[in-house]
């Protein structure tokens, strides 16, 4: 069908066009569109990779009693319960409706414990109040539902979450005493998955209807479940069964307007293991983003932490930032959300440590990887797509060449970037990365980066690369150059284009 459609477009343009330009343009569209490897367009113009901050740092002061430098983050929001109207709003179990769950520590049942026992309408009525409270205005922002107590896929509720299976089976047995245990288990599975699906689906539908300008999705969805890194031969891959289970959640992806996977690390993961772990999780999220519509994928915003889950005061090293943030950028995600708990901002000492970490490690790396990604996009994609690894499982990153660039923190606390790329830098981008077009854009990768005249990209006010790559050409005394646009030239070009198109159509049809 895709080939026939393009043939129709091509020949219609051929008949109606008064010149060769329309035909050539349509012809150039074909290789890009047939790949179906699109990426979600930026949610904010000229911000191809978005950095968001979701940590309670509002009362944190750094050196000289000044607030932390958040100039690199486009959207911000604190997870504290009493703050509303933020760029990033996260809904925990106690902030959106009547979420049913069982406290695994105390055994207390909340709102019926399992989704089969809660009134969906009561939940939606309460959810409406909560959404309007936390989002008084429908500005552009992120709406992240963080419900982790149970999973809508029955098989994924392994220990200790198997309590939800057991409660569901008990409920069926109470209502159907004649059923055997296998029969009760089958029925419990059906009822649990239906109730869980309805609960999650109707909640996100409500959110979208009330606040359509927000990007709605569930935290930790999709998940890869590739936590088996202690086993020998670990390569980070997602199990086939988990990929199939993610496919079966198409009902959720169809209603989501963004995906929010997680790449948190713990200290038991070496840098090599962490890299494989993150790489496969982000790759799976990008795959899932295309399930609703391969030509119009969902934006993927990856949740990351600056500290380890098992040592909440130990910051990630620069190498570990490469394994997390760098991997995410190189694979073509839409952005990263930095999440943090009160542990990193609960005291003056922890605030000073965070301030120092941001000044010396985090912010310089964000500047580095973001400017490199924007530069690659500008050169290879004419800013109509993103640069993505040609070999997804390689260790190729979008980084500025340290021999040619220097990121400095000036006395006033502002960062500046010194240096400019060489043609060799751009050729390395072209060698290791390719251009993936944004939805509905017919971008075409630059054939020869040596033709690049200049680079002009910024991440924040004054944090830019603005460089001319070619020396001025001496034109004094040189005659003007004119191009022959006679009918014979046009006819020849048309003929060549038609022949090439027919060749491509034949190959694709095979």
For helices 487-509 and 2-16, angle between their N-to-C axes, nearest 10 degrees: 170
Beta-bridge mates of residue 53:
76, 338
Residue 273 buriedness (CB in 10 A; 0-12 / 13-18 / 19+)? middle
Tell which residue, 337, 150, 366, has the closest CA to residue 259. Answer: 337
User: Residue 179 is encoded by which pair of tokens?
Assistant: 């059923």
Name the strand (E) or helix (H) holding 197.
Answer: helix 181-210
- Considering 148, 319, 424, 431, which one is annotated as catalytic? 148
Q: Residue 154, Cβ neighbours under 10 Å: how many?
A: 19
CA distance 372 to 461: 17
- Peptide bond preceding 504: is omega within 30 degrees of 0, i.e. cis? no
- Concatenated DSSP letters of 320-342: HHIIIIIHHHHTT-SEEEEE--G
CA distance 315 to 318: 9
Q: Could you tell me if 152 and 191 are in contact, meaning their C-beta atoms sit under 8 angstroms apart?
A: no
User: Please, which residues have CB within 8 angstroms of residue 360's CB and are 6 or more apart in sequence?
Assistant: none
For residue 58, indicate whether it is catalytic: no
Q: Parallel, antiparallel, or unpaired: how do β-strands 75-76 and 50-54 relate? A: parallel
CA distance 201 to 494: 52
Tell which residue, 246, 315, 234, has the closest CA to residue 278. Answer: 234
Residue 233 Rama label (left phi>0; alpha psi -120 to 50; beta): left
* Residues noted as catalytic: 148
């Amino acid at each position: 069908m895709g080939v026939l459609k393009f043939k129709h477009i091509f020949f219609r343009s051929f008949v109606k066009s008064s010149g060769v330009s329309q035909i050539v343009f349509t012809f150039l569209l074909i290789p890009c569109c047939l790949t179906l490897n699109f990426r979600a367009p930026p949610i904010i113009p000229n911000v191809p990779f978005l950095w968001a901050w979701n940590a309670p740092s509002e009362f944190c002061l750094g050196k000289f009693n000044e607030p932390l430098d958040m100039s690199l983050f486009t959207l911000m929001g604190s997870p504290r319960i009493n703050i509303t109207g933020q760029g990033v709003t996260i809904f925990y179990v106690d902030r959106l409706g009547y979420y049913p769950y069982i406290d695994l520590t105390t055994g207390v049942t909340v709102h019926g414990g399992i989704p089969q026992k809660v009134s969906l309408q009561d939940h939606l009525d309460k959810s409406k109040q909560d959404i309007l409270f936390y989002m008084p205005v429908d500005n552009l922002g992120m709406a992240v539902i963080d419900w982790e107590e149970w999973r809508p896929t029955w098989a994924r509720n392994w220990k200790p979450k198997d309590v939800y299976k057991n409660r569901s089976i008990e409920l069926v047995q109470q209502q159907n005493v004649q059923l055997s245990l296998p029969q009760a288990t089958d029925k419990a599975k059906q009822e649990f998955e239906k109730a869980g699906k309805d609960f999650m689906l109707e909640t996100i539908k409500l959110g979208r209807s009330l606040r359509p300008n927000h990007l709605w999705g569930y935290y930790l969805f999709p998940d890869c479940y590739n936590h088996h890194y202690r086993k020998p031969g670990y390569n980070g891959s997602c199990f086939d069964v988990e990929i199939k289970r993610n496919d079966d959640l198409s009902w959720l992806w169809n209603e989501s307007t963004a995906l929010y996977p997680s790449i948190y690390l713990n200290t038991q993961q070496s840098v090599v293991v962490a890299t494989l772990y993150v790489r496969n999780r982000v790759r799976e999220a990008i795959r899932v983003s295309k399930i609703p519509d391969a030509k119009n994928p969902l934006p993927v915003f990856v949740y990351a932490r600056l500290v380890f889950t098992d040592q909440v005061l130990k910051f990630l090293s620069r190498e570990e930032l490469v394994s997390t943030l760098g991997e995410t950028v190189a694979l073509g995600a839409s952005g990263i959300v930095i999440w943090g708990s009160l542990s990193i901002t609960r005291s003056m000492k922890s605030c000073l440590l965070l301030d120092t970490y941001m000044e010396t490690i985090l912010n310089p790396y964000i500047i580095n990887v973001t400017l490199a990604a924007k530069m690659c996009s500008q050169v290879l994609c004419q800013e109509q797509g993103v640069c993505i690894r040609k070999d997804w499982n390689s260790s190729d990153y979008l980084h500025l060449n340290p021999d040619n660039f220097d990121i400095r923190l000036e006395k006033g606390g502002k960062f500046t970037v010194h240096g400019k790329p060489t043609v060799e830098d751009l050729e390395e981008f072209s060698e290791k990365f390719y251009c993936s077009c944004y939805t509905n854009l017919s971008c075409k990768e630059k054939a020869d980066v040596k033709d690049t005249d200049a680079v002009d990209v910024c991440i924040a006010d004054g944090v830019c690369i603005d460089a001319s790559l070619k020396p001025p050409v001496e034109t004094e005394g040189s005659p003007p150059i004119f191009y022959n646009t006679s009918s014979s030239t046009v006819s020849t070009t048309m003929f060549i284009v038609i022949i090439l198109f027919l060749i491509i159509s034949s190959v694709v049809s095979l």
